[in-house]
Amino acid sequence: MRILGIDPGLTRCGLGTIDFVGARRVSFVDVDVARSNPAMLPEKRLLLIHNKLAETIRLLRPDVIAIERVFAQENVRSVVSTAQVVGISMLCAAQHGIPVQMHSPSEVKAAVSGNGRASKAQVQLMVKQILGLKEIVRPKDAADALAIAICHAWRGNLAVNTNATRAQHGGAGTLPRAEGVDLTAAQKLWAQAERLQARHGAVAPEKFRK
């Protein structure tokens, strides 16, 4: 299964592609960043991102697209522009007949590092190790895109029910199993965190947990 991970952003949109062959085995395919100039009109910037996404899809032919889910932050303008990029990413996927699944930032961090509050540097390091790369992927948007793709590979391998529509909106049937000799420590921790969150609701933003 070829997975295109997207770290949405209007100035820099990370695009990371991996191949998943099962049994937690993933391999690096490509990484790129779609960029737009903040001085341009918003609609022109979105068109640039869309065109880059479409080109990447045509060249790499992913089987599924994984996108990081947007959460409210202090900078409302940034959230809105990021959500717009998520929208055009989903549109581009639909135009090419490719299924989409969303993953939360904490889910991605936990999947690759075992820590749902891992730093950007930790995620970059784990992506390098998991994919056997010689150097840390930069910028961070590119590394995050690969992390999102890895998260989807492992989530798809663990999920009880892989129905894309239900997985998009949550539900008990989409929860991953938390036990098994074939699971890594990071996967077990992530699965346990997912089940805990499903029971008690979404985790509050970090600034409210200090």
Is residue 7 part of an annotated ligand binding site?
yes
Predicted pLDDT at 23: 79
pLDDT score for 200? 42
Q: What is the pLDDT of residue 42?
A: 95
Confidence (pLDDT) at 56: 97
- How far is residue 160's CA from residue 177's CA, in Å, rounded to a whole number? 7
Q: How far is CA 44 from CA 38, 48, 129, 142, in A?
A: 10, 6, 37, 22
Neighbours of 209 (CB within 10 A): 8
Model confidence at 180, in pLDDT bands (50, 70, 90)? low
State the average pLDDT over residues 36-63: 97
User: What's residue 156's pLDDT?
Assistant: 58
Which range is most confident: 158-162, 189-193, 199-203?
189-193
Whole-model pTM? 0.75
Task: Spell out the residues 6+ positions from residue 136 whose beta carbon is closer than 8 angstroms to its own.
Answer: 124, 125, 127, 128, 143
Give the residue from 99, 95, 69, 94 showing the smallest Cα distance to 82.
Answer: 69
CA distances to 4, 46, 168, 169 from 147, in Å:
10, 23, 18, 21
Q: What is the mean pLDDT of the chain?
A: 81
Q: Is 141 annotated as a binding residue?
A: yes
pLDDT on residue 120: 87
Active-site annotation, residues: 7, 68, 141
- The 3-state DSSP composition of the chain as helix, strand, coil percent (nearest 5) reads 50, 20, 30
Contacts of 134 (CB under 8 A, 6+ apart): none
Q: What's residue 152's pLDDT?
A: 95
Identify which of 73-77, 93-97, 155-159 has the greatest average pLDDT: 93-97
